[in-house]
Amino acid sequence: MKQRLSAKLMPLDFISGVGIAGSKLAVYLVRPLEPEESKRVREIVDATAPGQPFEFVTTGVFKKNESSQC
């Protein structure tokens, strides 16, 4: 589910990521959404994962941490 939603949501310039937070889907945002953007995301989630609870989390742009080593 997360991968299917990521493929549809990540092309939107106001989405910075998609993840799972507890039992909910988390849609991470670059900035707060305008009402029409929120509606668009809700329509995509409802069409791809009907009934899946989700929340918007405004985080800004995710950046890769170049100093971390695995």
pLDDT at 28: 95
Q: How far is CA 62 from CA 20, 50, 51, in A?
A: 16, 27, 27
pTM beyond cutoff 0.85: no
Q: Which domains does the chain have, with CATH numbers?
A: 2-58 (3.30.70)
Average pLDDT over residues 41-45: 97
pLDDT at 65: 59
pLDDT at 63 over 70: no
pLDDT at 60: 84
Q: What is the pLDDT of residues 19-40, one digit of tens each?
A: 998 889 999 999 999 999 999 9
**Cβ contacts of residue 10 below 8 Å, gap of 6+?**
17, 18
Tokens 């092309």 found at: 11
